[in-house]
A and B are shown apart, each in its own frame.
Chain A
């Protein structure tokens, strides 16, 4: 697969897999992260996937840049070329969502803006399978994409000070669930009762980059 890297810090490199946000990059980046973690073991301190990149943090007591990148190249160059292939193997995480103005204060406005009834808007949002492009902003906060073009809407000009945990939002062509109470600028359309982040679980975050998720009413 095609990739290049940059030095981004004393113990970090950023691997680049593409130039623009593209659902077809999610699975290969996820696979690269898994392969590198398994090959490098304790030499790798963190592997952080995002839309087009994978940040690697390594242990400077075990590796210098040359030894690390030697191993990284070997691993990545053995991975199959991902052309045309999207998320074949990953299981789908189903997220039950209550789409309703009582928990989604922007739902009516978004439906009106798009020219749909509430039911139609909800149907169009919930019929999609979403990919986890990245995790960030807060523990377990998953950037999901992509929302149907006709539902996309800019972020709020004035972010809310407090968005309840589990709230589902839309911003541009992405959708996301707030794992913990936090300030937020996304348009809110519903809520899930699932605990998206729970540090007492073996897998604290329900969603991780590279996974797929579907919302169900």
Chain B
């Protein structure tokens, strides 16, 4: 028996709402960006609350203001940015499972803090995996996402999911200690790169001691920074593959942190790479937020990353 195409019917799509998962693997050599959830912390918790596997697709909502109606009985979880969530007008907690009945209307308000909300549904959204075994939405490439064309959600889109059996899942909620405060000043961990000799020591000292602010020109490709300009020795490099979080310094000296939707190769000198755990936190900072950087050892960064992955890879 097939229940064809029921799910969450989007009435207001918000500013930018994208289907995202853990991102693509094995296709960067084709010039394809990896994509994926910008804040994996909130994204992974939303799925975890519902007993979904780590890589399940969820909706990444930037700037809130989304409204949808459920066509079936199911459970959802909304994590991330501080918004007010109502179901049929009644206020509901974030970072917790919410039971929905067919016909329930869910509204996310504008932001109070943070930047991105994650909406997960029990069983995950039924969106076909495309390039790189992922359904990540890549707007610039016109690939991936709900319709495979890279488009953000629009009014009238249906996010297909499975109806839930009679037994509602356990009510769960994320312990307070695990809910970040997105208003906190952020210090980003940086793994130093090999092109460090391209930068005079005064530039490095400046980068690791002076505050920078997040520019409003930032997007899913890169976080642009305002602050002291850095001096770079020598010419552009021969283009090479770019790692997630790479801190590249173009001619104007203002660093750009390259993010999930970055181009796959590039030739600007790079100071190092911000760790994925720091990028998770960065993904919730609004333009104008103050940022500082500190160097971290590779081993230390990998230990934190493994602890994060192992936690969410364990079944609940």
A residues near B, CB below 8 A?
6-12, 14, 20-21, 33, 45-55, 57, 60-61, 64-65, 134-141, 143, 180, 197, 199, 204-205, 208-209
Contact = CB atoms under 8 A, between A and B. Distances in A.
Interface in B279-298: 298
Nearest to A138: B31
B306 A135 contact: no
B306 A61 contact: yes
A18 B265 CA distance: 17
B44 to A, nearest CB: 14
Contact of B305 (A52, A60, A141): A60
B25 A45 contact: yes
Secondary structure of the B side of the interface?
A: mixed
Going nearest first, the 9 A-B pairs with the smallest beta carbon separation are A55-B241, A9-B243, A6-B194, A48-B241, A136-B265, A9-B273, A12-B243, A53-B240, A46-B28
Contact of A139 (B34, B141, B191): B141
A199 B298 CA distance: 36
A10 B30 contact: no
A10 B241 CA distance: 14
Contacts of A139: 30-32, 141, 143
A21 B27 CA distance: 23
Interface string B135-148: 00000011100001
Contacts of A197: 30
Interface string B25-54: 111111110100000000000000000000
A91 B181 CA distance: 56
Contacts of A8: 193-194, 241, 243, 246, 270, 273
B209 interface: no
B240 A50 contact: yes
B238 A51 contact: yes
B240 A9 contact: no
10 contacts: A8-B243, A9-B273, A10-B245, A10-B275, A10-B301, A12-B241, A49-B29, A49-B241, A51-B238, A136-B263
